Structure 1
Amino acid sequence: MYILLALISACALGIAVHFVLPHRSLRGVVVVPAIAAAVAAVVYTLMQWSGIGEDNGWVWLASIGGAVIVSALVGYVLTVMRHRADAEQKVALGI
């Protein structure tokens, strides 16, 4: 049941990351929060399976902090790739 707290926290922080990153119009609104929630779920589950209990602070730090870091990096990379692809399309079309 505690995994829901980690997922909700990661998703809320993923929403904040979406609005902090530049050029948010170049990526979907749900992309960054969805990545954050998925990473938090995987990290939390793996740490639980490895024997670390939910009363340990490392589970929370790794799942929520890792989710924020990974979602910020992926969101930034997606934005850069989209910006580059748009620029190439404009050159190809002669705009």
Structure 2
Amino acid sequence: MYILLALIGACVLGVAVHYLIPHRGLRGVALVPAVATAVAAAAYALGQWAGLKESNIWLWLLSLGGAVVVSALAGLALTRLRQHGDTARRAQLGI
């Protein structure tokens, strides 16, 4: 049941990261929160399999901190790819 708290927290933090990263109009509103939630689920499960208990702070830092870092990096990378693709497309079309 504690994994639900981690997933909800990661989704909320993913929404916050979405609004903190610039150029949010270039990516979908659900992309960064979805990445954050998926990373938190994987990290929490791996932490549990590694023997970390629900009361261990490292499990929560691993799942929530990893979710924030990975989703921020993914959002920045995908935004940069989108900007590069848009620029190339405009140059191709002569706009």
Q: TM-score range by the shorter chain?
A: over 0.9
What is the DSSP-based 3-state SS (H/G/I as helix, E as strand, rest coil) of the residue aligned with 2:53?
A: coil
TM-score with structure 1 setting the length: 0.99
Give the paired residue count.
95
RMSD after superposition: 0.4
- In structure 2, the residue matched to 1:38 is 38
Distance in structure 1 (CA, Å) of the matches to 2:34 and 2:74: 11
What 5-or-longer segments of structure 2 have no aligned partner? none
Equivalent AA in structure 1 for residue 46 of structure 2? L
**Aligned equivalent of 1:86:** 86
Aligned to 1:64: 64
User: Which residue pairs with 1:47 in the alignment?
Assistant: 47
The gaps in structure 1 that reach 5 residues or longer are none
- The TM-score, its normalising length taken from structure 2, stands at 0.99
Deviation at 1:93, TM superposition (A): 0.1
4+ aligned runs moved over 3 Å, structure 1: none
Q: Give deviations 1:35-70, integer Å, cap 9, x for gaps.
A: 000000000000101111111000001100000000
CA distance in 2, matches of 1:86, 1:70: 24
* Alpha-carbon distance in structure 1 between the residues aligned to 2:51 and 2:65: 20
Matched residues in 2 for 1:62 and 1:45: separation?
Answer: 10
